[in-house]
Structure formats: structure tokens, C-alpha cells
């Protein structure tokens, strides 16, 4: 018996010491694959279904390997769970003397310099902001970590945090007078000394690309890098391997330059005037976009001449501000920092404008330029369409083990889509299905006679079709929608149904509170119904009878007018591929599996997954999606669903099984 078989076995230390631990043969096999990858300094892509115990499966071999390990997660929830719960447990049970550190992005730590300026200036948007700044000041005096999540008195969403934290652009680095007490630097130093460091994907990529937050310094020393929730990586890689500049950054620069001028060069009011001109020019860029909202490709903007002129005017004003700051920058680091940022922003705008000539030949284009327009700001992006080669360079540039794991990386065990996106063609792949008895525990119900998802009134039809299921289960339901508009409409319709039937069941809506707040209320409220969108498709764990129904309104295809997706589709089709089957369908499968994964979280859970999209049955590609879902029993009969909840024999009747 190997060490891993003993440790993870039915009589092993984890089974003895950790309440609720279950021996899983799949978990042992997964751990052995991780151990081999670490020994061979190889690349492993591992899909492990719900209940496999993948966290312990990679932590045990990683901790006993003796090298430096970086674990990167897709969400802060899992990052905190790993650091505060799973790692301490495994470390204690194994009796290994490994030092563990948690490293977050700089926006998670109080910045003593910017907090001091905020208090001195006393310029706040509201009394609440003023009160919160002083609460943060008291917190900063007493905290060891400076981590804003430890400051329970101030909400995560408070505007005060923007004044009490730093960004990559406005950090003064080693020239800051608070450098020795800096919470960010303390966290980096702690991480550099630790054997195991827990980060998240955003921080990891920001550091690999920008060498910003500290993980870039950690990476050369790491023997093993483990990505949990690795299905997030392709989209994040596109974001971080691209370029961006936003009007919000320019407005923030203007604010910082004006403050620096007032505090460090009072006799030069022209700095404040120039900063004001940058602020106004940045806002004019957003105004030039007119009614544009959300994500849109640059070539789809109708007011292109006005936008180009506004962008050029912003670059000009940034140049004027830079010259004024340069004349005084020796006086203070704040003035020099503002000058450097002004030059950087002007340079990024120049780079953006230079792409105009290149993009006249579509065949030569390997990026897409797009804009995300908010109500008062806009962000400009240059996104690479293919990150495989870029990421492969990161892998090949160093000898270490790379582990990619998630419950959803393949399409029915086929990893080619993920390997292609990430440049991991040579990686070892493995799949361990969930140990749960899905055939007994769960039912997949696809209602009959639903209209086309693009038809008028589709959301009403989804509510009508799913309501009998929700009623049969007595609530205990998540209804998940692929758009906020559909989510809000469904919430309204379900509220009306509850009222008309005299049911006082709690009805929760995403956005009416924080995600954690809503989940806690859902767990504690009998008969609760939660209506949500993408935020509740993954990273949500509700065990037991409290969650018995998950309704998904439609197959989660990304909107084809999304600028990045549209450019990727065009590129694949231009090369002779089939973008729909080779790219869009696999992505939809992975997203749908995440949503379905909310239902059965434990071996005693029972529930019904309702997918309301008729395309799952009527379209040829529906069969591919159908086969990739967990092996729940299938039905198209509401009577079978009702029987499932009452436990009558009809629930298991073959006449109710559906096929695709």
C-alpha cells in the first residue's frame, strides 16, 4: 500500500481525524496522478466530479512533496476555504511542518498612504463614507493583516474603500513613507517565506503578466502550481494577456494629480487646472459613445469620428498635465507618480490608435478591440483571440508541475476544447466521475411544449413550466437565468404566483443583498426560493433538503454579439472550422454542468434539475449536450417529477424516462 492509499484510505488518518470524511477510490487515483505530475514536473488536467474530494486529493500529495506550492482559485470563497479550513486540517492530520500564507490583490489591503490623504482632505461623497473612513482608520491601527475582509464594521461595497486602498498605478512603492509598515508588502514577504501560498486566478495572471502583486516573484521558486476552478482560466487569460485603459483610471489620475498639486506644489494652481481638463476630457470620451451600453466591438460604434476625436483630446490633455507635473516632480513622489501615469495612459491611447492601420486587413488581425461602456465611464480593451501560444510559453519557460482541476473541464470526457484554448495539447488528462448515485438521487426534467427560447414571452413560459416542480418540492429551489432581464421578470412572476396561491414562502432575488447574505437566508428559511443569474451558477454549496430543485431557463450560450466571442467565431470559421460545434457548444456544456452541479452536493441529497430549453431535445447538438450532463434519470413528465418528491413508484417507472 502506498502512502497515499494509506493516508486517504478507510482506516487512514484523514478518516480518523476529519468528521464526515469518506474514502473514495477516485480520490486516491486523483492524488496518485497529482503525485506523479509533481515527481515528473509534468502537466495534468484533471476533471473530478462533485463529491470526489478533489481538494484533499491535490493537497495531500502537494504537502508531502516537500517543495514550494502555489494554489490558485477562481473565487475568493474557495481561496478563504482553502486557507482557513482545508489546509490547516490536512496539515494537522499529516503532521507536516509546512508554513502557509494567503496572498490577495492589493485592493484587498488598506493603504496607509491613501488612507492618510483621505482623512486629511476630508472630501467624502456622503456622511456614511466619512464615517466608514474613520472606521477603517481605527481598523488600520489595530490590524496585523490590513485585510479589508477582517474589517467587519465597513461593508465590502462601501465607496470609502476606494480612498483607503491603492492600485498598481497609484502605489508609490519603496518611495512611500509607509513602505516599512505597508500591509501589501508584509503580505508579499509572508508569502515569499511560506511553503504553500494560496492566491486567486486574477492575482496570478496579473503577476505573471505585470509582475505586480508578488506572485510574479513567487513563481520562480515554486515547484508546483495548482489551479482549482480551472475552467475560468481561458477567459481570464484573454483578459490579462491583452491591454486595457479606462476613463475611470484617467479620472482617478486627475484626482490624484490635483491632490498632489494642492499638497506639494501649492504655488502652481495650473496643475489643478490641467488635472481638471483631463477629468473633463475623460468624461467626454464616454459622452462621445452616445447610447452605447455594455460590451461592444469598436467597429460597431456609430459615432466613431466623435469617439476618435475625444480620445485624441484626452491624450493631448494627458500630455499637457505630464509637462506641468514634470516641472515639479522632484518635490514629491506623488507628483512623479502622477506624471508617470499620465505618460503611460497617453502611450496606451497612442498604441490603441496605431492599431487602426493594422486592422484594415482582417486576415492579419489576431486581436479584437472592444469597449465596455458604463453609465459614467468606459474601458477600452485589446484582447488576443488566441492565448494558447502565450500560455504555453509560461508552461515551457520553467520546469515545475502544473495541475489544472475543476468539476467541469471536459465534454463527456473529451478535453480537446480546453487543451486547445490553453495550449496544453501535450498534457496528461484524466476524468473521475462523481461517486454519487445520480440515478437514484436526481431527476432531469425537460418540460414539453416550451416555445423557442428567442420568442416573446419565453420567460413567462419557463415560470409556468417550472412552477409545478417548485410547488411539488415546497420551494427549496434555485431558479437560474442567463440574463438579468429574465431574472427580474421571473422574480416578479413568481411573486405573483405565491400571492395568488396564498403561499408565504421566502422569495430571494440576486442583488437584494450580498451573495453570502442571500445564501445564509436561503439555508435558514423553510420553503425558500432564490432567483438568480450567473453569480449562483457556481461556487455555491447548499447541502441537504434545503435545495431540492434547480431550474435553468435556457442553454447557456454566450451572446453571439459579445465582441470577443464574435471575433473568435469569425476567426475559427475563416480558418475552415465549425465555431458553433467546436467552440460554442463545448463552452455551453461546461457552463451548464456548473449550473447542474449546484443540485447534488452530498451522497444523501435528492433533487430535480429542470432545464427548460427545448433545443436540448429538438436540435442535433442537443444530444451532445444531453450526453455530457451527469447521469440523472431523465423525464419529460411532470407526473414523474411529482412522484419523485412523494416517493411513489411512478418516479421510477420506465414510461417516464426521456431520451435525446
Give burial (CB, 10 Å; 0-12/13-18/19+) of 355.
middle
Q: What is the pLDDT of residue 536?
A: 84
Classify 20 in phi/psi space as left (phi over 0), alpha (psi -120 to 50) or beta: left
pLDDT at 361: 66
Cell of 68: 514550494
**Beta-carbon contacts of residue 83 (< 8 Å; ≥ 6 apart):** 100, 102, 198
Confidence grade of residue 214 (pLDDT, cut at 50, 70, 90):
low
> Which one, of 122, 215, 112, 227, lies nearest residue 171 by Cα?
112
pLDDT in tens, 56-100: 999 999 999 889 999 999 988 889 889 999 999 999 999 999 999
CATH 1.10.275 domain range(s) in the chain: 242-384
Evaluate if residue 539 carries a pLDDT over 90: no
Q: Which residue has the cell 412523494?
A: 646
Q: Are 30 and 36 in contact (CB under 8 A)?
A: no
Query: Which has the higher per-residue pLDDT, 211 or 153?
Result: 153
pLDDT at 560 over 90: no
pLDDT at 363: 62
The DSSP H or E segment spanning 117 is helix 112-121
pLDDT digits (tens, 9 = 90+) for 340-351: 999 999 999 999
Banded model confidence at residue 211, pLDDT cuts 50, 70, 90: low
* Of 600, 238, 492, 524, nearest in space to 385 by CA: 238
**Rounded distance, CA 606 to CA 547, Å?**
9
Q: Kindly state the cell numbers that stand for 467.
A: 412552477
Measured distance CA(508)–CA(501) in Å, rounded: 18
Q: How far apart are CA 570 and CA 564, in angstroms?
A: 10
566/299 Cα distance (integer angstroms):
12
How far apart (Å, rounded) are the C-alpha atoms in residues 574 and 577?
Answer: 7
Closest to 540 measured CA to CA, from 19, 72, 78: 78
- What would the pLDDT profile of 122-144 be if each residue is shown by its tens digit? 888 788 999 999 999 999 999 99
CATH number of the domain located at residue range(s) 438-656 in this protein: 3.40.50.300
Q: How far is CA 115 from the centre of its chain?
A: 28
Q: Specify the pLDDT at position 313.
A: 97
What is residue 659's predicted lDDT score, i.e. its pLDDT?
38
Whether 440 shows a pLDDT value over 80: the answer reads yes
Instruction: Check residue 177 and report its DSSP letter.
Output: T
Residue from 72, 47, 75 nearest 402 by CA: 72
Q: Three-state DSSP class for 8? A: coil
pLDDT at 651 over 60: no
Q: So what's the architecture of 23-99+194-239+387-432 in CATH?
A: 3-Layer(aba) Sandwich (3.40)
**Per-residue confidence (pLDDT) for residue 513, from 0 to 100:** 79
pLDDT digits (tens, 9 = 90+) for 372-406: 999 999 999 999 998 998 888 888 877 899 999 99
- Torsions phi, psi for 93 (to 5 deg): -65, -40
**What pLDDT, in 10s, does the model give residues 413-430?**
999 999 999 999 999 999
**Mean per-residue pLDDT of the chain:** 90
CATH architecture for residues 242-384: Orthogonal Bundle (1.10)
* Averaged pLDDT for residues 543-550: 91
Q: d(Cα 384, Cα 242) in Å, to the nearest integer?
A: 6
Q: Where in the chain is the domain with CATH 3.40.50.300?
A: 23-99+194-239+387-432, 438-656
Amino acid at each position: 500500500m502506498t502512502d497515499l492509499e494509506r493516508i486517504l484510505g478507510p482506516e487512514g488518518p484523514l478518516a480518523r481525524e476529519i468528521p464526515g470524511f469518506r474514502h473514495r477510490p477516485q480520490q486516491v487515483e486523483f492524488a496518485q496522478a497529482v503525485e506523479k505530475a509533481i515527481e515528473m514536473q509534468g502537466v495534468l488536467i484533471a476533471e473530478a466530479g462533485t463529491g470526489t474530494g478533489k481538494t484533499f486529493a491535490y493537497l495531500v500529495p502537494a504537502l508531502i512533496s516537500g517543495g514550494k506550492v502555489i494554489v490558485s482559485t477562481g473565487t475568493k470563497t474557495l481561496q478563504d476555504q482553502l486557507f482557513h479550513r482545508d489546509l490547516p486540517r490536512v496539515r494537522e492530520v499529516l503532521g507536516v511542518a509546512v508554513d502557509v500564507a494567503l496572498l490577495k490583490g492589493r485592493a484587498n489591503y488598506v493603504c496607509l498612504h491613501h488612507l492618510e490623504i483621505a482623512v486629511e482632505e476630508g472630501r467624502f461623497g456622503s456622511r456614511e463614507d466619512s464615517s466608514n473612513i474613520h472606521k477603517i482608520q481605527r481598523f488600520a491601527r489595530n490590524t496585523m493583516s490590513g485585510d479589508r475582509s477582517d474589517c467587519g464594521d465597513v461593508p465590502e461595497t462601501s465607496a470609502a474603500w476606494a480612498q483607503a486602498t491603492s492600485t498598481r498605478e497609484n502605489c508609490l512603492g519603496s518611495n512611500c513613507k509607509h513602505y516599512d509598515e505597508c500591509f501589501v508588502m508584509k503580505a508579499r514577504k509572508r508569502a515569499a517565506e511560506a511553503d504553500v501560498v494560496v492566491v486567486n486566478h486574477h492575482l496570478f495572471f496579473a503577476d505573471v503578466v505585470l509582475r505586480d502583486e508578488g506572485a510574479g516573484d513567487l513563481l520562480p521558486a515554486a515547484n508546483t502550481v495548482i489551479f482549482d476552478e480551472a475552467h475560468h482560466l481561458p477567459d481570464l487569460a484573454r483578459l490579462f494577456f491583452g491591454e486595457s485603459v479606462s476613463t475611470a483610471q484617467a479620472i482617478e489620475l486627475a484626482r490624484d494629480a490635483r491632490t498632489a498639486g494642492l499638497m506639494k506644489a501649492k504655488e502652481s494652481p495650473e496643475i489643478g487646472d490641467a488635472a481638471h481638463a483631463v477629468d473633463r476630457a475623460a468624461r467626454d470620451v464616454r459622452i462621445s459613445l452616445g447610447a452605447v451600453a455594455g460590451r461592444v466591438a469598436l467597429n460597431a460604434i456609430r459615432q466613431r469620428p466623435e469617439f476618435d476625436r475625444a480620445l485624441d483630446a484626452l491624450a493631448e490633455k494627458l500630455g499637457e498635465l505630464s509637462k506641468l507635473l514634470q516641472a515639479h516632480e522632484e518635490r514629491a513622489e506623488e507628483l512623479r507618480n502622477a506624471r508617470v501615469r499620465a505618460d503611460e495612459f497617453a502611450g496606451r491611447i497612442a498604441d490603441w490608435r496605431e492599431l487602426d492601420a493594422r486592422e484594415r486587413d482582417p486576415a492579419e488581425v489576431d486581436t479584437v478591440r472592444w469597449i465596455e461602456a458604463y453609465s459614467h465611464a468606459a474601458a477600452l480593451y485589446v484582447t488576443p483571440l488566441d492565448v494558447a501560444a502565450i500560455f504555453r510559453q509560461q508552461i515551457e519557460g520553467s520546469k515545475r508541475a502544473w495541475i489544472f482541476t475543476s468539476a467541469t473541464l471536459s465534454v463527456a470526457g473529451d478535453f480537446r476544447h480546453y487543451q486547445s484554448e490553453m495550449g496544453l495539447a501535450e498534457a496528461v488528462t484524466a476524468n473521475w466521475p462523481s461517486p454519487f448515485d445520480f440515478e437514484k438521487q436526481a431527476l432531469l426534467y425537460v418540460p414539453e411544449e416550451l416555445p423557442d427560447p428567442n420568442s416573446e414571452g419565453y420567460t413567462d413560459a419557463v415560470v409556468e413550466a417550472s412552477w409545478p416542480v417548485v410547488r411539488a418540492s415546497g420551494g427549496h429551489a434555485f431558479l437560474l437565468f442567463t440574463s438579468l432581464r429574465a431574472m427580474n421578470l421571473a422574480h416578479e412572476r413568481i411573486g405573483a404566483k405565491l400571492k395568488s396561491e396564498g403561499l408565504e414562502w421566502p422569495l430571494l432575488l440576486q442583488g437584494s443583498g450580498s451573495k453570502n447574505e442571500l445564501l445564509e437566508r436561503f439555508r435558514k428559511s423553510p420553503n425558500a426560493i432564490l432567483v438568480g443569474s450567473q453569480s449562483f451558477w457556481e461556487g455555491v454549496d447548499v447541502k441537504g433538503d434545503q435545495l431540492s430543485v434547480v431550474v435553468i431557463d435556457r442553454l447557456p450560450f454566450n451572446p453571439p454579439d459579445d465582441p470577443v466571442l464574435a471575433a473568435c467565431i469569425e476567426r475559427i470559421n475563416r480558418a475552415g472550422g465549425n465555431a458553433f460545434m467546436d467552440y460554442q457548444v463545448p463552452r455551453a456544456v461546461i457552463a451548464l454542468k456548473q449550473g447542474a452541479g449546484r443540485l447534488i452536493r452530498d451522497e444523501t441529497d435528492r433533487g430535480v434539475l429542470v432545464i427548460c430549453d427545448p433545443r436540448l431535445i429538438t436540435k442535433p447538438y442537443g444530444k451532445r449536450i444531453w450526453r455530457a450532463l451527469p447521469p440523472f434519470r431523465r423525464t419529460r413528465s411532470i407526473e414523474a417529477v411529482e412522484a419523485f418528491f412523494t416517493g411513489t413508484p411512478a418516479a421510477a417507472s420506465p414510461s417516464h424516462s426521456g431520451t435525446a
